[in-house]
């Protein structure tokens, strides 16, 4: 089993009228972190997924993106 710090995460984003969702997915352990960004502020939560996560994200309109924006929000450099 791969160690958590040796896994290359995948990043996704979905823009909506009232905000955006940024998502980091661990493609081995099927765990992730979601950041919801809206005019009211930023919320973060940890999630567990199943093996169908990538198909589900595609159907739900998420686009695969680079990790920069996600990590800026995660580190608190932008709000």
Specify the 3-state DSSP secondary structure of 21. Answer: strand
pLDDT at 77: 85
Specify the 3-state DSSP secondary structure of 64. Answer: strand
Q: What is the pLDDT of residues 47-77, one digit of tens each?
A: 999 999 999 999 999 999 999 999 999 998 8
Q: Residue 65 and residue 23: Cα distance in Å, rounded?
A: 9
Q: Residue 28 and residue 31: Cα distance in Å, rounded?
A: 8
Q: What is the pLDDT of residues 5-53, one digit of tens each?
A: 788 999 999 999 999 999 999 999 999 999 999 999 999 999 999 999 9
Written as six digits, the tokens of 51 are: 């093996």
Looking at per-residue pLDDT, the higher value among 1 and 28 belongs to 28
């Amino acid at each position: 089993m791969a160690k958590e710090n040796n896994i290359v995460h995948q990043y996704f984003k979905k823009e909506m009228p009232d905000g955006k969702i940024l998502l980091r997915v661990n493609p081995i352990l099927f765990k992730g972190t979601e950041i919801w960004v809206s005019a009211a502020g930023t919320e973060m939560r940890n999630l567990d997924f199943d093996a169908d996560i990538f198909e589900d994200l595609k159907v739900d309109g998420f686009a695969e993106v680079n990790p920069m924006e996600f990590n800026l929000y995660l580190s608190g450099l932008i709000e």
